[in-house]
Chains A and B, each alone.
Chain A
């Protein structure tokens, strides 16, 4: 049994310790907002927060997450989650939508660390997240919008 804390809830899971965290989140715990895209840390669709850091859950063995805080799109706290989701809706970002959980989880870490990110900051942080539908220009605008809302305090 491996003890996990996902979205502030405790779980004990009976899986092989080398199982990627992604599949424990999706199949064992049943939270399917975190997506499988490449299995090789190439696309970012599986991005979750591990003790506040953005990690690719498809290459993170579940044993590495034991006893640490895992946050998925479903549990992203409102202080960052609301302004991001509102901005994503205002800019009508998603097309197919499959990569967007990972995009938002990556953007949340960016905004926590950089209150008013520049385009360059966005490139640096978001380049690991692929969107095959090509919503990048809108993701960029949505991040700027969320940052502006946060710094005005209207994102609360």
Chain B
């Protein structure tokens, strides 16, 4: 059940939200499940807030509570409202919602953008917001014309009375509609009648993103604002033992040096003096227990951990006995590195802490968490703190920080210097700054029948958890297993009678976090590479092998078949070319990629073509689905090339020269095919990533006979003797 409240009747107009009057609707839908209790969060209470405003100038403003980080959610959610509203799409605008419980995620119970859930979680609420407003506009027009509402209809921003030919625009009706009691239990459209939903639609935010006027967090300026950079410990968990500020303070433009629990901040008139000041700091660090961290030794430690059983994520049949009884056993070990998100906009946050209030401007994926963290750091009550969400110059999970560190830093520094402060991270700060995709060690084995069919599947995963010990633990950790560590492995779809998947928690220390498609980033690489190993061991075509094991998964088969058909799997490749495919379900969607590669004599890999098929259920904006698949493929190809490693506790990478990401000249031809589907709706921001790396690894095997079980791929591994 959801309630609709006419906010215009609650004095919202008087607050100046709308010049010239208009209709403001708040649709309050109680969360379906409150999955998360953030620290200090109060029970959800209704507050007058709006998802939709209609101005007397005909402008329809959709207030979007999900952060726009490139995934096109501002456009997608606006399309849903506009469809049910019968709005004139040319008059639709989007505004970022403030942090407020009324904007909480309908599944997570806090305001958060993640898990590829924005569209599915708002589908009902945003449709209802649009439909209710349409019904009220019709009611307002009918009252003016003194006719029955049923004799009026809405179309492209107007209410029309068919018989008389009378019409009024939404702008003309906004003020009269704002005086009506909300219409309850409105009927939603039959999806067959959708005019906008399902049509490729250009994004609303493109014009401002091509002329330099789009405002990201780093572009925010506040009067009297200073700029800070922080010297953070060179080893995670380290602390400053002594700080000599003198040389930094002597640099023209440097105003303050502030010690915080996150590091030493140099606060200056601008970025350049702040950065020079930081270079001039003399700090003695206590490096802490990670001072000897070394990636090679860490792998040895993970191998040791993998020798004994972990917490069971899936147990079906008796994998151990079936393995012992198998005609043939295949075993393999896979290793994946820490990964940095490296969004193009380095992290930043503007905070203005005053004795009686605090404003925070930042591109965040987690408004509720930031809100409470900022209040705590400022020593203020949550109601004294305002979070202003800007556009995000990329998120990929990096801007959904569970400990809110990048907001806390700015609040702490602003409070200390009693002025608005913008903290800017350099690229080096970002690459070295942690909150990585965890490194993972996998041991996987399978027993094969004499015909080559898998009879047993045993998969052990060793990696860190970033949720145990956080408020999210209760919702996501089940029977000692952090689901984000085993997702994509525990739910392997292939028909194997005996399956055992378990997880060993690796020690904490290096800060880790979700990265676009989270656990699937490593589990899919292992599952889909290993399945390819089994297919080759069984001397069966990898496509046919998968199809046979997916007999009970017609939706998976359909996606696989579409990718294979469009790729031309049956046709022979040109000499010197290899092909591979991979299939993976995540975030409610199923994606398959078929790829074509070459490898030079020197071992340089080139990916020439990626054919992608996706079934994400009903589609709001097909062009957004395409864009997300293209972006996911590029993102996934980047994971073949980069890694974060440690020596003497320090991160060895610094910037894009040693943490390479895919560039224009390395980008393959990409084709995206969307399955026409009426199945349940899934996400699109993440599911395109997981099958990329294994599809390429499988293609490399097809071409060279070399099985790559470790990322990133090095030319040395592929060099021909």
Contacting residues of chain A (24-42) with chain B, CB-CB under 8 angstroms: 26-28, 30-40, 42
Say yes or no: A42-B657 contact (C-beta < 8 A), given A35-B393, A92-B203, A123-B664: yes
The 8 Å CB contact of A89, one of B202, B215, B252, B661, is B202
User: A15 — which chain B residues lie within 8 A by C-beta?
Assistant: 270, 272
Say whether B667 faces chain A, with CB atoms less than 8 Å apart. yes
Shortest C-beta distance, B227 to chain A (Å), equals 7
Contact call B393/A74, Cβ cutoff below 8 A: no
Please tell me if the beta carbons of A92 and B212 are within 8 angstroms of each other in the complex: no
Main DSSP-derived SS at the B contact region: loop
Q: Tell me if B493 counts as interface (CB < 8 A to partner A).
A: no
Task: Choose one: A30, A40, A96; the contact of B657 (CB below 8 Å).
Answer: A40
List residues of chain A with CB within 8 A of the CB of B382: none
A97 an interface residue at 8 Å Cβ cutoff? yes
The smallest beta-carbon distance between B202 and chain A, in angstroms, is 5
Q: How far is the CA of A99 from the CA of B212 in the complex (A)?
A: 10
Inter-chain CA distance A34–B631, complex, in Å, is 23
Q: Check B394–A133 contact: CB distance below 8 A.
A: yes
Do B427 and A96 touch across chains, with their CB atoms under 8 A apart? no
Stretch at the interface among B281-289, B337-345, B710-718: B337-345
A73's nearest neighbour on chain B, judged by CB, is B212
Chain A residues near B342 (CB-CB < 8 A): 132
Considering the chains assembled together, what is the distance between the CA atoms of A126 and B342 in angstroms? Answer: 19
**CB of B205 closer than 8 Å to a CB of A:** yes
Tell me how far the C-beta of A40 lies from the nearest C-beta in chain B, rounded to whole angstroms: 5
B427–A98 contact, CB under 8 A? Answer: no
Cα-based distance from A137 to B210 in the complex (angstroms): 17
Q: Is the CB of B656 within 8 A of A43?
A: yes
Residues of B within 8 A of A26 (CB): 219
The CA of A37 and the CA of B348, in the complex, are separated in Å by 12
Nearest B-chain residue to A31, judged by Cβ:
B212
Q: A27-B270, A94-B203, A137-B630 are in contact. Are A132 and B661 (CB under 8 A)?
A: yes
Beta-carbon contact of A39 and B427 below 8 Å:
yes
Q: Which residue of B lies closest to A139 (CB)?
A: B664
Q: Name the interface residues of A100-156: CB closer than 8 Å to any CB of B.
A: 100-101, 104, 122-124, 126-140
B70 touches A95 (CB 8 A): yes
Which of A100, A104, A134 lies in contact with B635, CB distance below 8 A? A134
Contact B631 A134 (CB under 8 A): yes
Residues in B whose Cβ lies below 8 Å from that of A74:
211-213
**How far, in Å, is B395 (CB) from chain A's closest CB?**
8
Q: Is A5 an interface residue (CB 8 A)?
A: no
Which A residue sits closest to B343, measured CB to CB? A132
Q: Shortest distance in angstroms between B204's beta carbon and chain A's nearest beta carbon?
A: 11
Given contacts A16-B272, A138-B630, contact A32 B427 (CB under 8 A): no
Residues of B close to A89: CB separation below 8 A: 202, 206-207, 210
A46: shortest Cβ distance to chain B, in Å?
11
Residue of A nearest to B253 (CB): A16
CA A124 to CA B663, docked complex, whole Å: 11
Min CB distance B542 to A, Å, is: 26
Task: Type the 1/0 row for B654-682, where 1 means its CB is closer than 8 Å to any CB of A.
Answer: 01110001111101011000000000000
- Which parts of A42-82 form the interface with B (CB within 8 Å)? 42-43, 45, 72-74
- Are A132 and B344 neighbours in the complex by a CB distance under 8 Å? yes
Nearest CB of chain B from residue A137's CB, rounded to whole Å: 5
A23 touches which of B211, B252, B270, B657 (Cβ 8 Å): B270
Q: Is the CB of A72 within 8 A of B212?
A: yes
Known: A123-B664, A134-B632. A19 touches B212 (CB 8 A): no
Does B494 make an interface contact (CB < 8 A)? no
CA distance A37 to B202 in the complex (A): 26
> Quick check: B426 and A92 within 8 Å, CB to CB?
no
A20-B272, A23-B271, A134-B631 known; A96-B211 Cβ under 8 A: no
Kindly state the separation between the CA atoms of A36 and B424 in the bound complex, as whole angstroms: 10
Q: Are B211 and A95 in contact (CB under 8 A)?
A: no
A4 within 8 A of B: no
A27 to B252, CA, bound (A): 16
How far apart sit A123 and B212, CA to CA, in the bound complex (Å)?
Answer: 24
Enumerate chain A residues within 8 angstroms of B72, measured Cβ to Cβ: 95
The answer on a CB contact under 8 Å between B662 and A98 is: no
Residue of B nearest to A104 (CB): B210
Q: Which of chain A's residues have a CB closer than 8 A to the CB of B392?
A: 96
Interface size (B, Cβ < 8 Å)? Answer: 63
Q: Complex: how many Å from CA A131 to CA B335?
A: 27
Minimum Cβ distance to chain A for residue B634 (Å):
3
Complex CA distance for A130 and B219, rounded to whole angstroms: 20
Name the residue of chain A whose CB is nearest to the CB of B72. A95
Q: Which residues on A sit within 8 Å (CB–CB) of B670?
A: 137
Whether B702 is near chain A, meaning CB under 8 Å from some CB there, is no
A85 at the interface (CB under 8 A from B): yes
Residue of B nearest to A34 (CB): B212
For the complex, what is the distance from the CA of A136 to the CA of B205, rounded to whole Å?
A: 18
CB distance from B553 to the nearest CB of A (A): 29
Contact B344 A131 (CB under 8 A): yes
**CB under 8 Å from chain A, chain B span 382-412:** 391-396
Rounded to whole Å, the gap between the CB of B343 and the closest CB of chain A is 6
Cα distance, A72 to B213, chains bound together (Å)? 12
Are A127 and B665 in touch, CB under 8 angstroms? yes
Assembly CA distance A38 to B346 (angstroms):
8
Complex Cα gap A126–B665 (Å): 8
Query: A43–B345 Cα gap in the complex (Å)?
Result: 11
Q: Which of A73, A98, A122 is close to B394, meaning CB atoms less than 8 Å apart?
A: A98
Please tell me if B627 contacts chain A, counting CB pairs below 8 Å. yes
Q: How far is the CB of A67 from chain B (nearest CB, A)?
A: 21
Min CB distance A14 to B, Å, is 10
| Contact pattern, B 175-218, Cβ under 8 Å of A = 1, otherwise 0 | 00000000000000000000000000011011111111111101
B262 to chain A minimum Cβ distance, whole angstroms, is 21
Q: Are B655 and A42 neighbours in the complex by a CB distance under 8 Å?
A: yes
Complex interface: chain A residues within 8 A of B391 (CB): 96-97
| Chain A residues whose C-beta falls within 8 Å of the C-beta of B69 in the assembled complex | 96
Q: Is B292 positioned at the interface, with any CB of A under 8 Å from its CB?
A: no
In the complex, chain A residues whose CB is within 8 Å of the CB of B233 = none
Query: Which residue of B is nearest A62, CB measured?
Result: B272
Query: Do residues A123 and B661 form an inter-chain contact, with CB atoms below 8 A?
Result: no
Check B272–A19 contact: CB distance below 8 A: yes
Q: What's the Cα separation between A93 and B424 when bound, in Å? A: 27
Let me know if B59 is at the binding interface, CB within 8 A.
no
CA distance A132 to B215 in the complex (A): 18
**Separation of A15 and B271 alpha carbons in the complex (Å):** 12
CA distance A30 to B213 in the complex (A): 12
- Minimum Cβ distance to chain B for residue A59 (Å): 12
Q: How far is the CB of A33 from chain B (nearest CB, A)?
A: 2
Question: A97 — which chain B residues lie within 8 A by C-beta?
Answer: 70, 205-206, 208-210, 214, 391, 393
CB neighbours (8 Å) of B424 from chain A are 36
Best-buried of A20, A36, A39, A124 by chain B (most CB within 10 Å): A36
| Residue on B nearest A126 in the bound complex, by CB | B664
Residue of B nearest to A75 (CB): B212
Distance A84 CA – B634 CA, assembled complex (angstroms): 23
Set of chain B residues within 8 Å of A20, measured between Cβ atoms: 272
Q: List 28 A-B contacts (CB under 8 A).
A: A23-B271, A28-B270, A30-B221, A32-B215, A32-B219, A35-B218, A35-B393, A36-B424, A37-B345, A37-B427, A43-B427, A45-B344, A74-B212, A89-B207, A92-B623, A94-B203, A94-B209, A97-B70, A98-B343, A98-B394, A127-B664, A132-B396, A132-B635, A134-B630, A134-B631, A134-B634, A135-B631, A136-B662
Which residues of A line the B interface, CB within 8 A? Answer: 15-16, 18-20, 23, 26-28, 30-40, 42-43, 45, 72-74, 84-85, 88-89, 92-101, 104, 122-124, 126-140
Q: Give the 10 A-B CB pairs with smallest separation, nearest first.
A: A33-B212, A134-B634, A97-B209, A98-B393, A96-B70, A95-B70, A73-B212, A134-B631, A42-B656, A32-B219
